[in-house]
Every structure is written in structure tokens, then in C-alpha cells.
């Protein structure tokens, strides 16, 4: 029997995360049609507004779903109760206010035009206040534990602290000493964005390790290898940003530092290859059928980590970076990270929590959504790499102008448009099942962790 219970903060964060992803999908689909099939200059104003909506709410999906996952799994990991549900709900309401303010700003053309954190300052204040609530609630919760922290709790704690710092850095351009000096501004901006990505990676990869521990049947979350990768990830978070700023005038030692730190991620790839070769990985599929869904998302995540890591390492090489910077190869890398890695982890964590609170149901929509999403994401990924290679070589080696490059890429961008439509259809299938099961799970408690 399932008992009725009050909805917890994890339910609300998962629901808000799904809504953010839906907004990002709709804005992304609209923007993609403008890129793929419009004439140069057509609907330019609409694209300028759609891009930040797509990016901002895609990032919101990552953070909101990661926070939902933390509140879902942290209590059972440390055998503690959430310190304050009221504080968690206050945090969510502040995030929702920030999202509404940012969206209204984008629709009215009131935003900064910067790469990522480009919304109006009241939205930033709401996010900062929400994050203070999160910091207080998280650390007061973990303080009650008498158990040693597994590595993923350390990752969550590190991500919380690092986001606080990088969020402040991302707003330093508002001070004249930074904002009035273009090189200084760009250096700090891209440093903050690199660390911003690192901070949410800490949250998401922490969920990945937590999920692996739950379905693998063995606990390696306190092993030396796990903490080695934690420190490797932290080093990349703090110092690996500079491969984004190779094009800026900066000291050579900074470039070399960034290059060598980026190259250390080959260790992660080699470890993945070693783990993929383990026979017990294949045997896991035959045991514990209740873990089929999370294992499928973990398998997709693992494949995308390997594929995207190879691309990331290649474009971190200065010579290749010169050709690829500002092309669709960068977009392919971002899509591989955001959808192939982060979104697969977050769906896996969310569905794991949801299925622990619902009666058995038809899994076919999830399998169809997962298959369609990954098929079209791979096609989209490869087409964008090809288009970026053509553009980079054409502009650097043949001196193409922007319009000439666009003319050469028109067929490829049209193809990418159809791949993007298929990708977004797969994501919508997953989201439909996400909302359907989430509403059912919010009314009941299963045999898993207590809400």
C-alpha cells in the first residue's frame, strides 16, 4: 500500500526543473528554426531574445533538478532529516521569482547581452538570496550527521561554495574597473563562466556517483579512487578555465597551465574505458530489474562522457582551438555536456526517486524517449562538428567572410535543424512521462527514502 504524504521540497524542485527544461526546449526549437531556415537578418531580434531564454532556462533545469536530487538523496545518505523544509521552499520561491523577472526582461529586451548570466540585477539578487538559503540549509543538515561523508556529499558541498564565489565574479563587470577594461572584463567573465560550469558539474556528478552507488550493488563512494577524481575535478574547476581565453593577451604560463590541467582529464577517459571493459558492468543488467531505468540513463551518460571528453580535450589544444573557437563545434560540445551528460544524469536521478514512490507503470515512453533523444543528439552532435570544421577551416585558411561561411553551411544547418527537431521530440517524450509520474509520486510515499 502507498500512504498519502505531504509533498516535500524535492518534488517541488523536480517539478520546477521540468518546467524550466520545457521553456528551454520551446525557445531552443524556435531559435533553431531561425538559424536553419531563415534568411540572413530575418527575425534577428527574435533570435537575440530567444537565445538567452534557451540558455538561462537550460541552466535553471540543471540547477533545479540537481538541488531536487540532493534533497531527495542526502537524508538517506547521511541518515539525517532536512534541517528546514520551510527554508528549502523559500529557496524555491526565490528561484521562481528570479526566473519570472529574467523572462520578463528577455521578452521586453531588458538584458545585458552577456554570454550566460545576462539577466537584470533584481533576478541576480533573488538568486543570491536563494543560494544563501541553500547554503544554510545544506550545511545545517549535514552537520547533524555522525557518519563520514561519501565523496558525492563533498562534491555537493564544494559545488555550493564554488557557485557562491563564481556568481559574484560574474557580476564584477558592473564595477567600472572591470567593465571599462575589455581585456580584464573578458578574462574575468570567462573565468567565472568556466567555474560556473565546474560548480554545477560538482552537483550533477555528485548525483551521478550517488546513483551509481545505489544501482551498482557496491559502495565505492569513499574509496581512494573516488576522492582522487574529486580532487582532479576540483583542480579543473579552479584552474582549467583558461582554455576559453587563449585568444586574449595573457601570460604564457596561464595558457600552459590551462592546457596541462585540461589534458589531465585524459585520466578520466582512460578510467572510463577500463570500467566499460569490466564484465560485472554487463552482468548488472540481468539483476535487479527495478534498476533498469537508472542503469539505462547511466549507460547513456557514460557514453556521452567519453565522446564529449574527447572533443573537449581536442578543442583545448591551442592550435585546434584557433580553428574551432566561435564555431558550431563549441555548440556541439555544449549540447553534448548539457543533454548527453547532465540531462541524462538528472533524468536518471529523478526517475529513480519517482519510481521509488509509485506503483509499477508502463516504462515504454521512457525507453522511446531515451532512444530518440540519444539517436538525434548524436546526429546533431556530428553534423555540428562537421559544420564547425568547414567554417573554421574556411574562415582561417580561405578567408571566408561571415556571409560566405553562412552560404557554404546552409545545407548542413538545414540538416541540423531536422536533427534538432527529432532531439526535442525525444526530450518532450521524457518530460511528458516525468510530469505524469511526478504528480503521482507527489501524492504517495513508496518503499524508498522518506519524503
Using 50, 70 and 90 to split pLDDT, how confident is the model at 188?
A: confident
Cβ-contact 60, 67 below 8 angstroms: no
**Distance separating alpha carbons of residues 261 and 448, to the nearest angstrom:** 40
Residue 226 lies in a domain: yes
Model confidence pLDDT, tens digit, residues 261-296: 766 766 665 565 556 445 445 555 555 556 678 888
Mean pLDDT of the chain: 80
Do the Cβ atoms of 366 and 300 come closer than 8 Å? Answer: no
220 in a structural domain: yes
396 lies in some domain? no
Residue 104 in domain: no
pLDDT of residue 63: 94
Residue 448: count other Cβ atoms within 10 Å of its Cβ.
17
Question: Residue 133: pLDDT above 70?
Answer: yes
Residue-wise pLDDT tens digits, 161-178 = 999 988 998 888 888 888
Residues 6+ apart with CB under 8 A from 351: 293, 294, 297, 366, 434, 437
Mean pLDDT of 371-391: 88
Report, as an integer, the average pLDDT of 141-155. Answer: 88
Residue 169 belongs to domain spanning: 151-264
pLDDT tens per residue, range 12-55: 999 999 999 999 988 888 777 776 666 655 555 566 778 888 88
Give the number of other CB atoms < 10 A from CB of residue 275: 12
237: pLDDT strictly greater than 50? yes
Q: Is residue 214 part of a domain?
A: yes
pTM of the model as a whole = 0.86
Given a cut of 50, is residue 124 above it in pLDDT?
yes
pLDDT at site 15: 93
Across the range 397-408, mean pLDDT stands at: 66
Residues 364, 369, 370: CA angle, nearest 5 degrees? 100
Whether the Cβ atoms of residue 293 and residue 351 lie closer than 8 Å to each other: yes
**Out of 210-219, 252-261, 268-277, which region has the weakest mean confidence (pLDDT)?**
268-277
d(CA 53, CA 138): 29
User: Under a CB-based contact definition with an 8 Å cutoff, are residues 312 and 236 in contact?
Assistant: no
**Residue 158 pLDDT greater than 90, yes or no:** yes
Q: Are residues 27 and 54 in contact, defined by beta-carbon separation less than 8 angstroms? A: yes
Tell me whether residue 249 is in a domain. yes
CA 366 – CA 292 distance, rounded (Å): 11
**Residue 429 domain-assigned (yes or no):** no
Q: For residue 385, tell me if it sits in a domain.
A: no
For 314-324, how does the pLDDT look when each residue is reduced to its tens digit (9 = 90+)? 877 777 777 77
pLDDT score, position 442: 61
Q: How much is the pLDDT for 274?
A: 57
The number of domains in the chain is 1
Amino acid at each position: 500500500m502507498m500512504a498519502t504524504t505531504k509533498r516535500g521540497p524535492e518534488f517541488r524542485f523536480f517539478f520546477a526543473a521540468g518546467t524550466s527544461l520545457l521553456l528551454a526546449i520551446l525557445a531552443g526549437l524556435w531559435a533553431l528554426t531561425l538559424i536553419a531556415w531563415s534568411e540572413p537578418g530575418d527575425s534577428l531580434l527574435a533570435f537575440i531574445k530567444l537565445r538567452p531564454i534557451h540558455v538561462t532556462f537550460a541552466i535553471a533545469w540543471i540547477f533545479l533538478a540537481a538541488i531536487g536530487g540532493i534533497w531527495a538523496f542526502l537524508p538517506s545518505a547521511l541518515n539525517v532529516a532536512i534541517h528546514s523544509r520551510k527554508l528549502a521552499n523559500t529557496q524555491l520561491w526565490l528561484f521562481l521569482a528570479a526566473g519570472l523577472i529574467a523572462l520578463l526582461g528577455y521578452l521586453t529586451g531588458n538584458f545585458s547581452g552577456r554570454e550566460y548570466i545576462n539577466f537584470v540585477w533584481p533576478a541576480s539578487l533573488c538568486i543570491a538570496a536563494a543560494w544563501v538559503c541553500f547554503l544554510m540549509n545544506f550545511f545545517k543538515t549535514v552537520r547533524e550527521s555522525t557518519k563520514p561523508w561519501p565523496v558525492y556529499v563533498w562534491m555537493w558541498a564544494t559545488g555550493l561554495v564554488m557557485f557562491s564565489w563564481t556568481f559574484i565574479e560574474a557580476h564584477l563587470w558592473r564595477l567600472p574597473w572591470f567593465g571599462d577594461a575589455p581585456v580584464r572584463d573578458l578574462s574575468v567573465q570567462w573565468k567565472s563562466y568556466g567555474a560556473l560550469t565546474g560548480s554545477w558539474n560538482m552537483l550533477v556528478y555528485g548525483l551521478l556517483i550517488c546513483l551509481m552507488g545505489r544501482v551498482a550493488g557496491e559502495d565505492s563512494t569513499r574509496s581512494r579512487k573516488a576522492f582522487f577524481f574529486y580532487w582532479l575535478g576540483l583542480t579543473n574547476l579552479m584552474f582549467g578555465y583558461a582554455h576559453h581565453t587563449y585568444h586574449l593577451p595573457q601570460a604564457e604560463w596561464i595558457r600552459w597551465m590551462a592546457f596541462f590541467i585540461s589534458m589531465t582529464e585524459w585520466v578520466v577517459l582512460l578510467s572510463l574505458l577500463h570500467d566499460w571493459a569490466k564484465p560485472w558492468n554487463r552482468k548488472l543488467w540481468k539483476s535487479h530489474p527495478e534498476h533498469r531505468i537508472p542503469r539505462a540513463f547511466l549507460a547513456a551518460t557514460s557514453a556521452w562522457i567519453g565522446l564529449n571528453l574527447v572533443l573537449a580535450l581536442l578543442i583545448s589544444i591551442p592550435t585546434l582551438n584557433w580553428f574551432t573557437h566561435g564555431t558550431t563545434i563549441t555548440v556541439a560540445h555544449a549540447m553534448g555536456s548539457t543533454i548527453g551528460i547532465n540531462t541524462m544524469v538528472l533524468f536518471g536521478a529523478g526517475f529513480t526517486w519517482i519510481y521509488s514512490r509509485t506503483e509499477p507503470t508502463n516504462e515504454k515512453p521512457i525507453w522511446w524517449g531515451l532512444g530518440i533523444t540519444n539517436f538525434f543528439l548524436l546526429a546533431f552532435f556530428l553534423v555540428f562538428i562537421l559544420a564547425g570544421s568547414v567554417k573554421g577551416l574556411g574562415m582561417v585558411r580561405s578567408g571566408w567572410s561571415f556571409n560566405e561561411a553562412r552560404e557554404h553551411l546552409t545545407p548542413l544547418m538545414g540538416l541540423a535543424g531536422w536533427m534538432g527537431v527529432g532531439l526535442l521530440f525525444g526530450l518532450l517524450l521524457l518530460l511528458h512521462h516525468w510530469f505524469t509520474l511526478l504528480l503521482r509520486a507527489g501524492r504517495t510515499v513508496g518503499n524508498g527514502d522518506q519524503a
